[in-house]
Protein backbone atom coordinates (compact mmCIF):
# COMPACT_ATOMS: atom_id res chain seq x y z
CA UNK A 1 0.00 0.00 0.00
CA UNK A 2 1.44 3.40 -0.88
CA UNK A 3 2.34 5.67 1.96
CA UNK A 4 -0.13 8.46 2.62
CA UNK A 5 1.21 11.87 1.60
CA UNK A 6 2.65 14.03 4.34
CA UNK A 7 0.60 17.21 4.54
CA UNK A 8 2.24 20.60 4.92
CA UNK A 9 -0.56 22.74 6.23
CA UNK A 10 1.26 25.13 8.50
CA UNK A 11 0.10 28.69 8.94
CA UNK A 12 3.44 30.34 8.21
CA UNK A 13 3.86 29.19 4.59
CA UNK A 14 0.39 30.53 3.82
CA UNK A 15 0.81 34.03 5.29
CA UNK A 16 1.96 35.83 2.11
CA UNK A 17 -0.73 34.19 -0.01
CA UNK A 18 -3.51 34.78 2.50
CA UNK A 19 -2.58 38.44 2.84
CA UNK A 20 -2.61 38.79 -0.94
CA UNK A 21 -5.98 37.07 -1.19
CA UNK A 22 -7.45 39.47 1.36
CA UNK A 23 -6.12 42.45 -0.58
CA UNK A 24 -7.57 41.19 -3.85
CA UNK A 25 -10.88 40.21 -2.28
CA UNK A 26 -11.29 43.55 -0.56
CA UNK A 27 -9.73 45.98 -2.96
CA UNK A 28 -9.37 44.73 -6.53
CA UNK A 29 -12.08 44.71 -9.17
CA UNK A 30 -12.48 41.60 -11.28
CA UNK A 31 -11.53 43.37 -14.50
CA UNK A 32 -9.78 46.57 -15.48
CA UNK A 33 -9.77 49.38 -17.99
CA UNK A 34 -8.78 48.80 -21.56
CA UNK A 35 -9.01 45.02 -21.75
CA UNK A 36 -9.93 43.25 -24.97
CA UNK A 37 -10.88 39.60 -24.88
CA UNK A 38 -12.40 36.99 -27.12
CA UNK A 39 -14.70 34.12 -26.26
CA UNK A 40 -13.29 30.91 -24.88
CA UNK A 41 -12.77 28.20 -27.48
CA UNK A 42 -15.38 25.51 -27.76
CA UNK A 43 -12.85 22.96 -26.52
CA UNK A 44 -12.83 24.67 -23.12
CA UNK A 45 -16.60 24.23 -22.81
CA UNK A 46 -16.92 20.52 -23.42
CA UNK A 47 -18.29 18.30 -20.73
CA UNK A 48 -15.78 16.35 -18.66
CA UNK A 49 -14.97 12.91 -20.03
CA UNK A 50 -12.81 10.03 -18.93
CA UNK A 51 -9.86 12.04 -20.26
CA UNK A 52 -10.45 14.46 -17.38
CA UNK A 53 -10.25 11.81 -14.67
CA UNK A 54 -7.21 11.11 -12.56
CA UNK A 55 -4.08 13.21 -12.08
CA UNK A 56 -1.20 14.57 -14.16
CA UNK A 57 2.03 16.45 -13.56
CA UNK A 58 1.83 20.23 -13.81
CA UNK A 59 4.28 23.04 -13.23
CA UNK A 60 3.67 24.73 -9.87
CA UNK A 61 6.61 27.14 -10.04
CA UNK A 62 9.29 28.02 -12.59
CA UNK A 63 12.41 30.17 -12.48
CA UNK A 64 13.61 30.59 -16.05
CA UNK A 65 17.42 30.38 -16.14
CA UNK A 66 19.20 33.08 -18.09
CA UNK A 67 22.83 31.89 -18.07
CA UNK A 68 25.53 30.62 -15.75
CA UNK A 69 27.44 33.15 -13.69
CA UNK A 70 30.14 33.24 -16.37
CA UNK A 71 27.85 32.64 -19.28
CA UNK A 72 27.54 36.03 -20.99
CA UNK A 73 29.76 36.95 -23.93
CA UNK A 74 31.60 39.57 -21.85
CA UNK A 75 31.76 37.28 -18.77
CA UNK A 76 29.92 39.92 -16.77
CA UNK A 77 26.25 39.19 -15.97
CA UNK A 78 24.78 42.68 -16.33
CA UNK A 79 22.57 43.67 -13.42
CA UNK A 80 23.13 40.45 -11.48
CA UNK A 81 21.52 40.48 -8.04
CA UNK A 82 24.35 38.56 -6.39
CA UNK A 83 27.49 40.13 -7.81
CA UNK A 84 29.61 39.48 -10.84
CA UNK A 85 31.06 36.20 -12.10
CA UNK A 86 29.80 34.15 -9.14
CA UNK A 87 31.03 30.59 -8.58
CA UNK A 88 30.37 28.06 -5.81
CA UNK A 89 32.20 25.16 -4.20
CA UNK A 90 31.80 22.61 -1.41
CA UNK A 91 28.83 24.46 0.04
CA UNK A 92 25.03 24.30 0.27
CA UNK A 93 22.44 26.61 -1.24
CA UNK A 94 18.85 26.87 -0.02
CA UNK A 95 16.38 28.18 -2.58
CA UNK A 96 12.97 29.55 -1.54
CA UNK A 97 10.13 28.91 -4.00
CA UNK A 98 6.36 29.38 -3.73
CA UNK A 99 3.99 26.86 -5.28
CA UNK A 100 1.13 27.96 -7.51
CA UNK A 101 -0.77 24.67 -7.65
CA UNK A 102 -2.12 22.04 -5.30
CA UNK A 103 -0.87 18.50 -5.69
CA UNK A 104 -0.55 15.16 -3.95
CA UNK A 105 3.16 14.74 -4.77
CA UNK A 106 6.04 16.84 -6.02
CA UNK A 107 9.24 16.70 -8.02
CA UNK A 108 12.01 19.26 -8.58
CA UNK A 109 13.95 20.27 -11.71
CA UNK A 110 17.68 21.03 -11.58
CA UNK A 111 19.26 22.74 -14.59
CA UNK A 112 22.72 22.93 -16.10
CA UNK A 113 21.38 24.23 -19.39
CA UNK A 114 24.10 26.85 -19.80
CA UNK A 115 26.92 24.95 -18.15
CA UNK A 116 30.20 24.22 -19.91
CA UNK A 117 30.95 21.30 -17.56
CA UNK A 118 28.93 18.74 -15.57
CA UNK A 119 27.66 19.82 -12.14
CA UNK A 120 27.40 17.34 -9.28
CA UNK A 121 24.82 17.93 -6.58
CA UNK A 122 25.20 16.09 -3.30
CA UNK A 123 22.17 15.80 -1.05
CA UNK A 124 19.03 17.57 -2.31
CA UNK A 125 16.13 18.18 0.07
CA UNK A 126 12.78 19.90 0.25
CA UNK A 127 10.99 21.29 3.32
CA UNK A 128 8.33 23.78 4.31
CA UNK A 129 9.83 27.20 5.02
CA UNK A 130 9.73 28.43 8.58
CA UNK A 131 11.42 31.74 9.42
CA UNK A 132 14.07 32.75 6.91
CA UNK A 133 16.34 29.80 6.13
CA UNK A 134 14.79 27.62 8.87
CA UNK A 135 12.66 24.62 7.89
CA UNK A 136 9.42 23.87 9.68
CA UNK A 137 10.39 20.99 12.03
CA UNK A 138 9.34 17.59 10.77
CA UNK A 139 8.92 18.62 7.11
CA UNK A 140 12.45 17.97 5.80
CA UNK A 141 12.45 15.29 3.07
CA UNK A 142 15.26 13.92 0.90
CA UNK A 143 14.91 14.01 -2.87
CA UNK A 144 16.32 11.21 -5.00
CA UNK A 145 17.29 10.86 -8.65
CA UNK A 146 16.78 7.34 -10.00
CA UNK A 147 16.93 6.28 -6.38
CA UNK A 148 20.24 8.01 -5.58
CA UNK A 149 20.65 11.04 -3.33
CA UNK A 150 23.42 12.57 -5.47
CA UNK A 151 23.12 13.44 -9.14
CA UNK A 152 25.45 14.79 -11.82
CA UNK A 153 23.81 16.98 -14.44
CA UNK A 154 25.69 17.07 -17.76
CA UNK A 155 26.52 20.32 -19.52
CA UNK A 156 23.46 21.49 -21.40
CA UNK A 157 21.12 19.20 -19.45
CA UNK A 158 18.54 19.17 -16.69
CA UNK A 159 17.15 16.46 -14.40
CA UNK A 160 13.89 15.83 -12.57
CA UNK A 161 13.87 14.30 -9.15
CA UNK A 162 11.93 11.15 -8.39
CA UNK A 163 8.35 11.87 -7.22
CA UNK A 164 8.01 12.59 -3.51
CA UNK A 165 4.72 11.87 -1.73
CA UNK A 166 4.29 15.27 -0.10
CA UNK A 167 1.12 17.28 -0.65
CA UNK A 168 1.47 20.94 -1.59
CA UNK A 169 -1.07 23.76 -1.61
CA UNK A 170 -1.08 27.04 -3.57
CA UNK A 171 1.31 29.62 -2.09
CA UNK A 172 3.04 27.08 0.14
CA UNK A 173 6.62 28.32 0.51
CA UNK A 174 9.24 25.60 0.21
CA UNK A 175 12.98 25.36 0.84
CA UNK A 176 14.88 23.41 -1.80
CA UNK A 177 18.44 22.81 -0.59
CA UNK A 178 21.34 21.27 -2.46
CA UNK A 179 25.02 20.69 -1.79
CA UNK A 180 27.46 21.73 -4.53
CA UNK A 181 30.37 19.34 -4.96
CA UNK A 182 33.77 20.51 -6.21
CA UNK A 183 35.18 24.03 -6.48
CA UNK A 184 34.72 26.91 -8.90
CA UNK A 185 31.32 25.57 -9.93
CA UNK A 186 29.22 27.73 -12.27
CA UNK A 187 25.46 27.33 -11.81
CA UNK A 188 22.55 28.25 -14.01
CA UNK A 189 20.70 31.09 -12.36
CA UNK A 190 17.84 33.54 -12.49
CA UNK A 191 19.03 36.96 -11.41
CA UNK A 192 16.01 38.87 -10.05
CA UNK A 193 13.96 36.54 -7.90
CA UNK A 194 12.21 39.17 -5.71
CA UNK A 195 12.60 36.39 -3.16
CA UNK A 196 15.40 35.88 -0.63
CA UNK A 197 17.26 32.58 -0.84
CA UNK A 198 20.31 31.52 1.14
CA UNK A 199 23.82 30.09 0.92
CA UNK A 200 26.19 28.55 3.42
CA UNK A 201 29.82 29.70 3.11
CA UNK A 202 32.12 28.24 0.47
CA UNK A 203 33.93 25.23 1.86
CA UNK A 204 31.41 24.61 4.63
CA UNK A 205 30.18 21.31 3.17
CA UNK A 206 26.78 19.67 3.10
CA UNK A 207 23.96 21.26 5.15
CA UNK A 208 21.05 20.22 2.92
CA UNK A 209 19.45 18.14 5.69
CA UNK A 210 19.68 20.85 8.36
CA UNK A 211 16.34 21.94 9.81
CA UNK A 212 18.11 24.97 11.22
CA UNK A 213 19.07 27.77 8.89
CA UNK A 214 22.04 28.75 11.05
CA UNK A 215 24.59 27.55 8.49
CA UNK A 216 23.06 29.70 5.76
CA UNK A 217 24.72 33.00 6.55
CA UNK A 218 24.43 34.68 3.14
CA UNK A 219 21.26 36.03 1.56
CA UNK A 220 20.87 35.60 -2.20
CA UNK A 221 18.74 37.69 -4.54
CA UNK A 222 18.60 35.13 -7.33
CA UNK A 223 17.63 31.49 -7.83
CA UNK A 224 20.40 29.02 -8.64
CA UNK A 225 20.18 25.62 -10.35
CA UNK A 226 16.55 24.99 -9.28
CA UNK A 227 14.34 25.89 -12.25
CA UNK A 228 11.07 24.09 -11.63
CA UNK A 229 8.66 22.58 -9.14
CA UNK A 230 6.05 20.16 -10.47
CA UNK A 231 3.11 18.67 -8.60
CA UNK A 232 0.74 15.78 -9.26
CA UNK A 233 -2.57 17.59 -9.68
CA UNK A 234 -6.11 16.77 -10.80
CA UNK A 235 -6.41 16.29 -14.55
CA UNK A 236 -8.56 19.42 -14.70
CA UNK A 237 -5.62 21.62 -13.67
CA UNK A 238 -4.08 23.66 -16.49
CA UNK A 239 -1.02 25.91 -16.51
CA UNK A 240 -0.61 29.49 -17.73
CA UNK A 241 2.99 30.40 -18.60
CA UNK A 242 3.66 34.14 -18.51
CA UNK A 243 6.49 34.87 -20.95
CA UNK A 244 8.03 38.25 -20.25
CA UNK A 245 10.79 40.50 -18.97
CA UNK A 246 11.48 42.34 -15.71
CA UNK A 247 7.90 43.63 -15.45
CA UNK A 248 6.64 40.05 -15.41
CA UNK A 249 9.58 39.11 -13.16
CA UNK A 250 8.18 41.62 -10.65
CA UNK A 251 11.03 44.12 -10.41
CA UNK A 252 9.73 46.98 -8.27
CA UNK A 253 7.41 44.79 -6.20
CA UNK A 254 7.90 44.07 -2.50
CA UNK A 255 10.38 41.22 -1.99
CA UNK A 256 9.17 37.98 -0.39
CA UNK A 257 5.48 38.91 -0.60
CA UNK A 258 4.55 37.48 -4.03
CA UNK A 259 3.27 40.79 -5.39
CA UNK A 260 4.24 40.35 -9.06
CA UNK A 261 1.35 40.72 -11.49
CA UNK A 262 1.28 36.96 -12.29
CA UNK A 263 1.04 36.29 -8.52
CA UNK A 264 -1.93 38.61 -8.20
CA UNK A 265 -3.53 36.97 -11.24
CA UNK A 266 -3.07 33.60 -9.53
CA UNK A 267 -4.87 34.92 -6.45
CA UNK A 268 -7.82 36.02 -8.60
CA UNK A 269 -8.00 32.61 -10.28
CA UNK A 270 -7.96 30.85 -6.90
CA UNK A 271 -10.76 33.06 -5.61
CA UNK A 272 -12.78 32.27 -8.76
CA UNK A 273 -12.18 28.53 -8.36
CA UNK A 274 -10.48 28.33 -11.76
CA UNK A 275 -8.25 25.23 -12.04
CA UNK A 276 -5.23 27.09 -13.39
CA UNK A 277 -1.67 27.54 -12.11
CA UNK A 278 0.18 30.67 -13.25
CA UNK A 279 3.93 30.13 -13.54
CA UNK A 280 6.36 32.95 -14.22
CA UNK A 281 8.80 32.76 -17.14
CA UNK A 282 9.90 36.38 -16.93
CA UNK A 283 13.59 37.29 -17.17
CA UNK A 284 14.74 40.81 -16.30
CA UNK A 285 16.41 42.42 -19.30
CA UNK A 286 15.01 39.87 -21.75
CA UNK A 287 14.20 40.72 -25.37
CA UNK A 288 11.75 39.25 -27.85
CA UNK A 289 14.28 38.93 -30.68
CA UNK A 290 17.77 39.90 -29.43
CA UNK A 291 19.72 37.09 -27.78
CA UNK A 292 21.53 37.82 -24.55
CA UNK A 293 23.79 34.88 -25.31
CA UNK A 294 25.42 36.84 -28.13
CA UNK A 295 24.67 40.48 -27.30
CA UNK A 296 25.44 42.58 -24.22
CA UNK A 297 22.22 44.57 -24.69
CA UNK A 298 19.95 41.69 -23.66
CA UNK A 299 19.73 39.17 -20.82
CA UNK A 300 19.15 35.48 -21.44
CA UNK A 301 18.08 33.77 -24.64
CA UNK A 302 15.50 35.82 -26.52
CA UNK A 303 11.85 34.99 -26.00
CA UNK A 304 11.86 33.35 -29.44
CA UNK A 305 14.90 31.22 -28.55
CA UNK A 306 13.71 30.10 -25.13
CA UNK A 307 10.05 29.55 -26.00
CA UNK A 308 10.39 25.79 -26.32
CA UNK A 309 12.15 25.10 -23.01
CA UNK A 310 10.60 27.87 -20.91
CA UNK A 311 7.02 27.54 -22.14
CA UNK A 312 6.10 24.79 -24.59
CA UNK A 313 7.74 22.01 -22.58
CA UNK A 314 6.47 23.19 -19.20
CA UNK A 315 4.50 20.37 -17.59
CA UNK A 316 0.74 20.74 -18.06
CA UNK A 317 0.90 24.02 -20.01
CA UNK A 318 -2.38 24.98 -21.64
CA UNK A 319 -2.08 28.75 -22.09
CA UNK A 320 0.71 31.15 -23.02
CA UNK A 321 0.60 34.82 -21.96
CA UNK A 322 3.02 36.96 -24.01
CA UNK A 323 3.99 40.33 -22.53
CA UNK A 324 7.42 41.45 -23.68
CA UNK A 325 9.09 43.90 -26.03
CA UNK A 326 9.92 47.07 -24.12
CA UNK A 327 13.61 46.13 -23.87
CA UNK A 328 13.85 45.54 -27.63
CA UNK A 329 12.51 49.05 -28.20
CA UNK A 330 14.40 50.81 -25.42
CA UNK A 331 17.78 49.32 -26.37
CA UNK A 332 17.38 49.87 -30.10
CA UNK A 333 19.61 52.49 -31.65
CA UNK A 334 17.05 53.44 -34.23
CA UNK A 335 18.60 51.15 -36.81
CA UNK A 336 16.26 49.20 -39.04
CA UNK A 337 12.60 48.69 -38.30
CA UNK A 338 12.57 47.44 -34.71
CA UNK A 339 8.76 47.42 -34.63
CA UNK A 340 8.64 45.04 -37.60
CA UNK A 341 11.25 42.76 -36.00
CA UNK A 342 9.37 42.59 -32.70
CA UNK A 343 6.10 41.87 -34.51
CA UNK A 344 7.80 39.12 -36.53
CA UNK A 345 9.01 37.66 -33.22
CA UNK A 346 5.48 37.69 -31.85
CA UNK A 347 4.19 35.96 -34.96
CA UNK A 348 6.76 33.20 -34.61
CA UNK A 349 5.93 32.73 -30.91
CA UNK A 350 2.19 32.55 -31.63
CA UNK A 351 2.66 30.10 -34.50
CA UNK A 352 4.83 27.74 -32.44
CA UNK A 353 2.53 27.94 -29.41
CA UNK A 354 -0.54 27.24 -31.55
CA UNK A 355 1.22 24.28 -33.15
CA UNK A 356 1.77 22.96 -29.63
CA UNK A 357 -1.97 23.24 -28.94
CA UNK A 358 -1.83 26.26 -26.64
CA UNK A 359 -4.19 29.19 -26.35
CA UNK A 360 -2.17 32.42 -26.70
CA UNK A 361 -2.92 35.70 -24.94
CA UNK A 362 -1.04 38.89 -25.83
CA UNK A 363 -0.62 42.14 -23.93
CA UNK A 364 0.30 45.61 -25.10
CA UNK A 365 3.67 47.09 -24.09
CA UNK A 366 3.44 49.44 -21.12
CA UNK A 367 5.00 52.93 -21.13
CA UNK A 368 8.71 53.39 -20.41
CA UNK A 369 9.14 57.18 -20.80
CA UNK A 370 10.52 56.72 -24.31
CA UNK A 371 10.37 59.38 -26.99
CA UNK A 372 10.94 59.83 -30.69
CA UNK A 373 11.41 56.70 -32.80
CA UNK A 374 11.32 54.36 -29.78
CA UNK A 375 7.95 55.62 -28.58
CA UNK A 376 6.62 55.61 -32.15
CA UNK A 377 7.67 51.96 -32.41
CA UNK A 378 5.91 51.11 -29.14
CA UNK A 379 2.69 52.67 -30.40
CA UNK A 380 3.02 50.82 -33.71
CA UNK A 381 3.60 47.48 -31.99
CA UNK A 382 0.69 48.06 -29.62
CA UNK A 383 -1.65 48.87 -32.48
CA UNK A 384 -0.67 45.57 -34.12
CA UNK A 385 -1.27 43.67 -30.87
CA UNK A 386 -4.73 45.23 -30.50
CA UNK A 387 -5.93 44.90 -34.09
CA UNK A 388 -4.07 42.10 -35.87
CA UNK A 389 -6.20 39.25 -34.56
CA UNK A 390 -3.03 37.22 -34.04
CA UNK A 391 -3.88 36.33 -30.43
CA UNK A 392 -6.79 34.41 -28.98
CA UNK A 393 -7.23 37.26 -26.50
CA UNK A 394 -5.59 40.62 -25.84
CA UNK A 395 -5.11 42.52 -22.58
CA UNK A 396 -4.39 46.23 -22.96
CA UNK A 397 -1.80 46.77 -20.20
CA UNK A 398 -0.80 50.03 -21.91
CA UNK A 399 -4.28 51.51 -21.43
CA UNK A 400 -4.36 50.34 -17.80
CA UNK A 401 -0.99 51.74 -16.73
CA UNK A 402 -0.35 54.89 -18.78
CA UNK A 403 -0.57 58.36 -17.30
CA UNK A 404 -3.64 60.04 -18.87
CA UNK A 405 -1.76 63.35 -18.82
CA UNK A 406 1.37 61.92 -20.45
CA UNK A 407 0.66 58.59 -22.21
CA UNK A 408 4.34 57.79 -22.81
CA UNK A 409 4.82 57.51 -19.04
CA UNK A 410 3.42 55.25 -16.35
CA UNK A 411 0.84 56.58 -13.93
CA UNK A 412 3.00 58.34 -11.31
CA UNK A 413 1.36 56.59 -8.36
CA UNK A 414 2.45 53.21 -9.76
CA UNK A 415 5.86 54.13 -11.17
CA UNK A 416 8.72 52.23 -9.49
CA UNK A 417 11.39 53.43 -11.94
CA UNK A 418 12.18 52.67 -15.59
CA UNK A 419 9.10 50.84 -16.79
CA UNK A 420 8.66 48.93 -13.50
CA UNK A 421 5.59 49.17 -11.32
CA UNK A 422 4.99 48.99 -7.58
CA UNK A 423 2.67 46.57 -5.80
CA UNK A 424 -0.43 48.63 -6.56
CA UNK A 425 0.45 48.89 -10.23
CA UNK A 426 1.02 45.16 -10.56
CA UNK A 427 -2.28 44.50 -8.80
CA UNK A 428 -4.03 46.77 -11.30
CA UNK A 429 -2.46 44.88 -14.21
CA UNK A 430 -3.63 41.55 -12.80
CA UNK A 431 -7.11 42.96 -12.25
CA UNK A 432 -7.27 43.91 -15.95
CA UNK A 433 -6.92 40.32 -17.14
CA UNK A 434 -10.33 38.76 -17.97
CA UNK A 435 -10.38 35.31 -16.44
CA UNK A 436 -12.28 33.91 -19.43
CA UNK A 437 -9.23 34.67 -21.61
CA UNK A 438 -7.77 31.30 -20.68
CA UNK A 439 -8.63 27.95 -22.17
CA UNK A 440 -7.25 25.62 -19.52
CA UNK A 441 -7.66 21.89 -20.00
CA UNK A 442 -11.30 22.09 -21.00
CA UNK A 443 -12.24 19.82 -18.09
Q: What is the pLDDT of residues 188-236, one digit of tens each?
A: 999 999 999 999 999 999 999 999 999 999 999 999 999 999 999 999 9
CA angle 164, 166, 169 (to 5 degrees): 130
Which of 9-23, 299-313, 420-434 is least confident? 9-23
φ, ψ (nearest 5 deg) of residue 123: -65, 140
User: Taking the CB of residue 337, how many other CB atoms lie within 10 A of it?
Assistant: 13
Say how many Å lie between the first and final Cα of the chain, rounded.
29
pLDDT at 37: 34
Q: How confident is the model at residue 42 (pLDDT cuts 50, 70, 90)?
A: very low
Element (H, E) at 326: helix 326-330
Cα–Cα distances in angstroms (integers) from residue 426 to residues 266, 343, 403, in the given order = 12, 25, 15
Query: Rounded mean pLDDT of 346-354?
Result: 98
> What 8-state DSSP symbol labels residue 162?
P
* CA 185/CA 118 separation, integer angstroms: 9
Report how far residue 123's alpha carbon sits from residue 47's, in angstroms, rounded to the nearest whole number.
45
Residue 7 banded pLDDT, cuts 50, 70, 90: very low
Would you state the pLDDT for residue 168? 98
What pLDDT is stored for residue 79 in this prediction? Answer: 56
d(CA 94, CA 222): 11
Contacts of 162 (CB under 8 A, 6+ apart): 107, 143, 144, 145, 146, 147
Q: Which helix (H) or strand (E) holds 143?
A: strand 141-143
Lowest mean pLDDT among 15-24, 206-215, 301-310: 15-24
Q: Write the pLDDT tens digit of every residue in 382-430.
A: 999 999 999 999 999 999 999 999 999 999 999 999 899 999 999 999 9
Please list the residues that pair with 67 across neighbouring strands.
189
Percent of the chain with pLDDT over 70: 85
Sheet arrangement for strand 67-68: 67-68, 188-190, 223-224
Give the pLDDT band (50/70/90) at residue 43.
very low
| pLDDT of residue 41 exceeding 90 | no
pLDDT at 58 over 50: yes
Looking at residue 22, its pLDDT comes to 36
274 has pLDDT over 60: yes
- pTM for the complete prediction? 0.88
CA–CA dist 320, 246 (Å, integer): 17
- pLDDT value, residue 49: 59
Alpha carbons 91 and 215: distance in angstroms, whole number: 10
Q: Which residues make Cβ contacts (< 8 Å) with residue 381, sequence separation at least 6?
A: 325, 329, 339, 342, 343, 364, 365
Per-residue pLDDT tens digits for 249-273: 999 999 999 999 999 999 999 999 9
Those residues whose C-beta lies under 8 Å from the C-beta of residue 205, and which sit 6 or more positions away, are 90, 91, 92, 179
Q: Is there a contact between 96 and 135 (Cβ–Cβ < 8 Å)?
A: no
Position with higher pLDDT, 70 vs 344: 344
Predicted pLDDT at 50:
81
Evaluate if residue 10 carries a pLDDT over 70.
no
CB atoms within 10 A of CB 429: 26
Amino acid sequence: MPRQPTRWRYLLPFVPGLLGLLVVACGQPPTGTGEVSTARPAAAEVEATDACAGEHWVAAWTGAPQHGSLGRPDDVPFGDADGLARTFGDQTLRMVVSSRAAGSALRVLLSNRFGAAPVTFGAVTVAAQGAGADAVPGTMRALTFDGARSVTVPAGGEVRSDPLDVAVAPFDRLLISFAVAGTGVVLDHHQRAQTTSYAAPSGSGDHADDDSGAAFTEELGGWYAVTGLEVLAPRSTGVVVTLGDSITDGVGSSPNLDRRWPDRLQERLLLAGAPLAVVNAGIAGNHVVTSGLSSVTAIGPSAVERLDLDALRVAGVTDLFVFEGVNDLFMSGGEGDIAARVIAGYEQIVAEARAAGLRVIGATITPASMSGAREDARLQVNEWIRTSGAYDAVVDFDAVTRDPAAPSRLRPEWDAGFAHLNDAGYAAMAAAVPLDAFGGTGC
